[in-house]
């Protein structure tokens, strides 16, 4: 065995913490559930388990309506949604508050949908008055769907979906309301049916605590009916058989994602044991813990700060922040190498070729995360700022601990 030639302690040893906004931390219960022999995909445990878990899958999205599952990541789910809703030349209105809203728009446009993007930038929430005015203008009802992110993971902006529903209703517009909840499902409060949403998109690897590789569409009866003639639909993406299979293979249009399903079964059980209201409350406290630390670090140091000014428009799943270039990259490198904590890169705030890119980072607090993980990540960040001589305000860890103490 080669001996390291330094006696400097390696403080990254121990269990690492991937605090990036997806994939998220996988619970041991999920990992253990996946550790088994290949199951029969025609009968037996797996087929019975899926039938029994689909109600729980609906419940996390707050719906009793249709659900279709895909073997694919979030990008796949975007395409699945586009394929089932639209025909070539249909008009979609996309409300973007960061990279992911733009991504869904690009995916729909590339498939032949006419896409109008209302871009609210990377720091401000959707302006509902502008949306309402645009919908009122559309007297012919050409806009078939309004599509947005619940949380745009790049900016960590939270869209007020009930306010969007109210704006659409005020305009008297019949468009479908379609929401990308890939980052937020199981983290930020969400009620698909109660909030009048027609389509919810999510993936397995964020709040659902399961490895990347599965994604889901929950859709209303109105969305199903609106998409009946969609000419972008192809057999693989077709949500009809997937949501109402006569045979087990039709859930997936082929072989089931066997081990993902065992993992997902356990993740859903964990969410339901905790209770969705308490899951959201936990994320709320952990998010506020992170915000409190950044507020303290930024005191007297305006280069450090949260991306989103108003708490109402901040995600409870992920926090985007600035630290000034190149200190965000220096800090991320340090926390990973010296503390075993991997923080998220800044996304969509500057081009990777721009030196300013090194001024942004994200801290995820999504999924299987608790007080010691969030406090630990913040403490390692503070240690890194000290080690790297990054000037910052005092009292961040004290402020963070007080949020946890208040619960
Ligand atoms: C992660 C994410 C995506 C993309 O998901 P992939 O699994 O990486 O394809 C899309 N939208 C949002 C809001 C996300 O957080």
As a whole number, mean pLDDT of residues 24-34 equals 98
As a whole number, mean pLDDT of residues 288-305 equals 98
Q: Does residue 2 sit within a domain?
A: no
Q: With CA atoms as reference, report the closest residue to 388 among 340, 331, 344, 346.
A: 331
> Which DSSP string do the residues of 246-306 spell out, in sequence order?
SSGGGGTTSS--HHHHHHHHHHHHHHHHH-HHHHHHHHHHHHHHHHHHHHHHHTT-TTSEE
Three-state secondary-structure class, residue 232: coil
Query: What integer pLDDT is reported at residue 283 of this predicted model?
Result: 98
The answer on 358 and 222 residing in a single domain is: no
Q: With CA atoms as reference, report the closest residue to 87 among 240, 242, 233, 225.
A: 233
Q: Does residue 383 sit within a domain?
A: yes
Could you give the CA distance from residue 199 to residue 155 in angstroms, rounded to a whole number? Answer: 22
The answer to whether 143 touches 135, Cβ cutoff 8 Å, is yes
Three-state secondary-structure class, residue 174: coil
The answer on 308 and 253 residing in a single domain is: no
Query: What integer pLDDT is reported at residue 6 of this predicted model?
Result: 80
The answer on 326 and 228 residing in a single domain is: no
255-274 tens-digit pLDDT = 999 999 999 999 999 999 99
For the packed helices 99-110 and 74-85, what is the interaxial angle rounded to 10 degrees?
Answer: 50
Could you give the CA distance from residue 361 to residue 287 in angstroms, rounded to a whole number? Answer: 15
CA of 153 to the centre of ligand 1 (A): 8
Could you give the CA distance from residue 176 to residue 222 in angstroms, rounded to a whole number? Answer: 8
As a whole number, mean pLDDT of residues 133-151 equals 98
Q: Ligand 1 atom closest to Cα of 205? A: 7
Query: Confidence class of residue 2 from pLDDT cuts 50, 70 and 90?
Result: low
Give the chain's mean pLDDT. Answer: 97
Query: What integer pLDDT is reported at residue 1 of this predicted model?
Result: 53
Which residue, of 227, 257, 273, is where some domain finishes?
A: 273
Q: Is 74 a pocket residue for ligand 1 (Cβ < 6 Å)? A: yes
Three-state secondary-structure class, residue 211: coil
The answer to whether 258 touches 39, Cβ cutoff 8 Å, is yes
Which residue, of 273, 306, 330, is where some domain finishes?
A: 273
Could you give the CA distance from residue 148 to residue 139 in angstroms, rounded to a whole number? Answer: 21
Could you give the CA distance from residue 137 to residue 164 in angstroms, rounded to a whole number? Answer: 16
The answer on 254 and 204 residing in a single domain is: yes
- φ/ψ of 51, rounded to 5, equals -60, -40
Q: Is 180 a pocket residue for ligand 1 (Cβ < 6 Å)? A: yes
The answer on 280 and 208 residing in a single domain is: no
Three-state secondary-structure class, residue 382: helix
Sequence-separated contacts (24+) of 253-257 with Cβ below 8 Å: 254/71, 255/41, 256/41, 256/46, 256/50, 257/71, 257/213, 257/214
CA of 201 to the centre of ligand 1 (A): 10
The answer on 252 and 232 residing in a single domain is: yes
Q: What percent of the chain has pLDDT over 90?
A: 98
Is a pLDDT exceeding 80 seen at residue 3?
A: no
210-226 tens-digit pLDDT = 999 999 999 999 999 99
Q: Is 182 a pocket residue for ligand 1 (Cβ < 6 Å)? A: yes
Q: Does residue 303 sit within a domain?
A: yes
The answer on 214 and 317 residing in a single domain is: no
Q: Ligand 1 atom closest to Cα of 151? A: 13
Could you give the CA distance from residue 82 to residue 33 in angstroms, rounded to a whole number? Answer: 33
Q: How many domains does the chain have?
A: 2
Q: With CA atoms as reference, report the closest residue to 318 among 341, 340, 299, 290.
A: 290
Q: 372 lies in which domain range?
A: 17-24+275-406
Q: Is 90 a pocket residue for ligand 1 (Cβ < 6 Å)? A: no
The answer on 97 and 209 residing in a single domain is: yes
The answer on 384 and 298 residing in a single domain is: yes
CATH number, domain of 35, equals 3.40.640.10
Is a pLDDT exceeding 60 seen at residue 64?
A: yes
pTM, entire model: 0.97
The answer on 207 and 91 residing in a single domain is: yes
What residues have CB less than 8 Å from 41, skipping those under 6 apart?
47, 248, 249, 255, 256, 258
157-169 tens-digit pLDDT = 999 999 999 999 9
Which residue, of 273, 305, 327, is where some domain finishes?
A: 273
Q: Does residue 178 sit within a domain?
A: yes
Could you give the CA distance from residue 345 to residue 321 in angstroms, rounded to a whole number? Answer: 10
Q: Does residue 11 sit within a domain?
A: no
The answer on 257 and 300 residing in a single domain is: no
């Amino acid at each position: 065995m080669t001996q390291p030639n330094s006696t400097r302690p390696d403080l990254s040893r121990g269990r690492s913490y991937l605090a990036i906004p997806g994939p998220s931390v996988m619970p041991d219960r999920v990992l253990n559930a996946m550790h088994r022999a290949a199951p029969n995909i025609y009968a037996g445990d797996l087929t019975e388990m899926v039938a029994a878990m689909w109600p729980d899958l609906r419940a996390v999205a707050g719906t009793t309506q249709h659900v279709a599952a895909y073997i694919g990541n979030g990008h796949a789910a975007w395409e699945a949604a586009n394929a089932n809703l639209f025909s070539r030349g249909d008009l979609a209105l996309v409300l973007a508050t960061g990279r992911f809203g733009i991504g869904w728009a690009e995916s729909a446009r590339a498939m032949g949908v006419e896409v109008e993007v209302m871009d609210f930038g990377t720091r401000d929430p959707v302006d509902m008055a502008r949306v309402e005015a645009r919908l009122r203008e559309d007297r012919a009802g050409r806009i078939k769907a309004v599509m947005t992110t619940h949380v745009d993971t790049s900016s960590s902006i939270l869209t007020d979906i009930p306010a969007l529903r109210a704006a659409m209703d005020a305009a008297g517009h019949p468009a479908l309301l379609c929401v990308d909840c890939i980052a937020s499902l199981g983290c930020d409060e969400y009620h698909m049916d109660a909030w009048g949403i027609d389509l919810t998109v999510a993936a397995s690897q964020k709040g659902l605590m399961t490895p990347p590789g599965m994604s889901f569409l929950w859709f209303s009866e109105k969305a199903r009916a609106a998409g009946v003639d969609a000419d972008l639909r192809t057999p693989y993406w077709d949500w009809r058989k997937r949501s109402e299979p006569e045979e087990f293979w039709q859930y997936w249009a082929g072989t089931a994602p066997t081990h993902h399903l065992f993992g997902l079964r356990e993740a859903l059980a964990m969410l339901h044991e905790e209770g969705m209201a308490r899951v959201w409350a936990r994320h709320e406290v952990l998010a506020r813990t992170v915000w409190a630390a950044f507020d303290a670090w930024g005191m007297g140091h305006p280069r450090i700060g949260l991306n989103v000014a108003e708490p109402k428009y901040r995600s409870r799943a992920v926090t985007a922040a600035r630290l000034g270039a190149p200190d965000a990259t220096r800090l991320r490198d340090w926390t990973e190498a010296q503390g075993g904590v991997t923080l998220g890169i800044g996304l969509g705030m500057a081009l990777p070729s721009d030196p300013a890119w090194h001024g942004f980072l994200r801290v995820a607090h999504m999924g299987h995360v608790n007080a010691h993980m969030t406090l630990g990540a913040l403490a390692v960040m503070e240690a890194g700022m000290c080690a790297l001589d990054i000037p910052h305000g005092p009292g961040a860890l004290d402020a963070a601990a007080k949020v946890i103490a208040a619960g």
